[in-house]
Amino acid sequence: MLADATLVDRTRHQTALRLLPFLFVLYIVNYLDRTSVAYAAIGMSRDLGFSDRVFGLGVGVFFIGYLALQIPGSLLAERRAGTEAQAICEEESATLSRATTR
């Protein structure tokens, strides 16, 4: 029983060492994303002629995307290994960025 507890503790420690740096980077990107939207509102509304309603709709669409993908992302991370889920997220992110840039 003691060996099982040691194995569980060691596995949790290894998982934390692998996931926490990635989660920290995601947290920083999320913070920068949310603050840059606030700063972008100032310039975009004036330059593109967006009303507050149009800008709010655009920000709301992103929020709905964050909200809708949190639960499937959590289920994916729970069912699969953390590094495999991380690889899938990175691949999807790269695909989306290629699709939205020229």
pLDDT digits (tens, 9 = 90+) for 44-65: 778 888 888 888 887 777 777 7
The answer to whether 41 and 55 have CB atoms below 8 angstroms apart is yes
Q: What are phi and psi of 50, to 5 degrees?
A: -75, 135
Other beta carbons within 10 angstroms of residue 85's beta carbon come to: 19
- The percentage of the chain sitting over the pLDDT mark of 70, rounded to a whole number, equals 88
pLDDT at 77 exceeding the cut of 80:
no
Average pLDDT of span 61-80? 74
User: Per the domain annotation, does 49 fall within a domain?
Assistant: yes
User: Per the domain annotation, does 1 fall within a domain?
Assistant: no
Total number of domains constituting the chain: 1
Measured CA to CA, the distance from residue 45 to residue 65 in angstroms comes to 22
pLDDT at residue 1 in the model = 59
User: Per the domain annotation, does 71 fall within a domain?
Assistant: yes
DSSP state of 92: H
Domain that holds residue 57: 22-100
pLDDT at residue 100 in the model = 67
User: Per the domain annotation, does 32 fall within a domain?
Assistant: yes
Highest mean pLDDT among 51-55, 77-81, 92-96: 51-55
Average pLDDT of span 36-47? 78
pTM summary value: 0.40
